[in-house]
Amino acid sequence: MKAPLDVVNSYIALVQDFSTDTAAYAEVLHPEIEQTEYPNLVYKTVQRRSFDEIIDNIRVGRELLHNQSFDVHSAHTNSEGCVLVEGIWQATVVNDMASMTRGQQVKAHLCLVFEFKDGKIYRQRRYSCYEQA
């Protein structure tokens, strides 16, 4: 069984590549995954996503953004195996949407919290702080 941080790194690599390979995600995400994204510049209310909704959200992101990257600044694992990751996420907007315009670089400081069950990500909380354009 992979170490929790290795599972998180595999998950981040899939997301960063805008992968929608459900088999690859099934190796790192628990079937009962719940991803919670707290209000930010993009989403005004709390977003909760299941396995399929995570894949759908990545599919949408692939159509709206390109040159996505996530630079991990720190990662910590606690004694229960919970992983906390902090870093900078960036992407370029492909088409005008909401308050963003085509070609605009978007950047957010992220804090991600991952909890595990059966060696896979079971709960993920995302705190995004977007920089104003």
CATH code, 65: 3.10.450.50
Euclidean distance between CA atoms 19 and 17, whole angstroms: 5
Q: What is the pLDDT of residues 64-118, one digit of tens each?
A: 999 999 999 999 999 888 999 999 999 999 988 777 789 999 999 999 999 999 9
Contacts of 25-28 spanning 24+ positions with Cβ under 8 A: 25/51, 25/54, 25/55, 26/51, 27/120, 28/120, 28/121
Indicate the number of domains in the chain.
1
Which residue in 58, 63, 130, 56 sits closest to 90, CA to CA? 130
> What average pLDDT does the chain have?
94
- pTM comes to 0.92
The residue range of the domain holding 51 is 4-130
pLDDT band at 133 (very low <50, low <70, confident <90, very high): low
Q: What's the pLDDT score for residue 1?
A: 77
